Amino acid sequence: GENVEQHPSTLSVQEGDSAVIKCTYSDSASNYFPWYKQELGKGPQLIIDIRSNVGEKKDQRIAVTLNKTAKHFSLHITETQPEDSAVYFCAATPRGGSQGNLIFGKGTKLSVKP
C-alpha cells in the first residue's frame, strides 16, 4: 500500500526566510497530493494541492512541486511570517485499493522566529 515519508520533522527559520518541506510516496499510481496546515487545537486546513498531471503550482507565498519520476513532492513557503508557525502535513491519494483517499506523512512542525 501507499506510504508517505515526510522530512524534516521539525524546522525552525527566521522571519522572512524560506522554508521547504519534502515528502516521498511509494505508490506510483497516486494522483493527488494536498498539503494541510494544522494550528494548535484546530483541524487540518487545506493550503494547497497538486494533481499528477501538473509539475508545479503556486499560490502567493506558497508553492508545491511534484516529481513523478522520483515520487516526491515539496512545499515551499517564501517570506515566512510568524503566523506560518504550525504543523504541516503532506498527503497522497493512492489510485484504487482500499487504503482510503488520503494517506498522510507524519508532519513537520514549523517555527518562524521573529
Partner 1 sequence: DSGVTQTPKHLITATGQRVTLRCSPRSGDLSVYWYQQSLDQGLQFLIQYYNGEERAKGNILERFSAQQFPDLHSELNLSSLELGDSALYFCASSPRDLRDRGGEAFFGQGTRLTVV
Q: What is the smallest separation between the CB atom of 101 and partner 1, expressed in angstroms?
A: 4
Tell me phi and psi for residue 82, to 5 degrees. Answer: -55, -35
Q: Is the dihedral of CA 86, 104, 50, 57 positive or negative?
A: positive
**Residue 84 DSSP label:** G
**CB closer to partner 1, 24 vs 114:** 24
Least distance from partner 1 to the Cβ atom of residue 84, Å: 19
Q: State the minimum distance, in angstroms, from the CB of residue 30 to partner 1.
A: 9
The secondary structure of residue 83, as a DSSP letter, is: G
Convert residues 23-42 into a mask of x (bound to partner 1 by CB under 8 A) and - (unbound). Answer: --------xx-x-x-----x
Identify whether the C-beta of residue 23 lies closer than 8 Å to the C-beta of residue 74.
yes
Subset of 77-106 contacting partner 1 (CB under 8 A) = 89, 93-106
**How far apart are CB 14 and partner 1 at their closest, in Å?**
25
101's CB contacts (< 8 A; 6+ apart) are 93
Footprint on this chain of partner 1 (rule: CB under 8 A): 31-32, 34, 36, 42-46, 49, 51, 89, 93-107
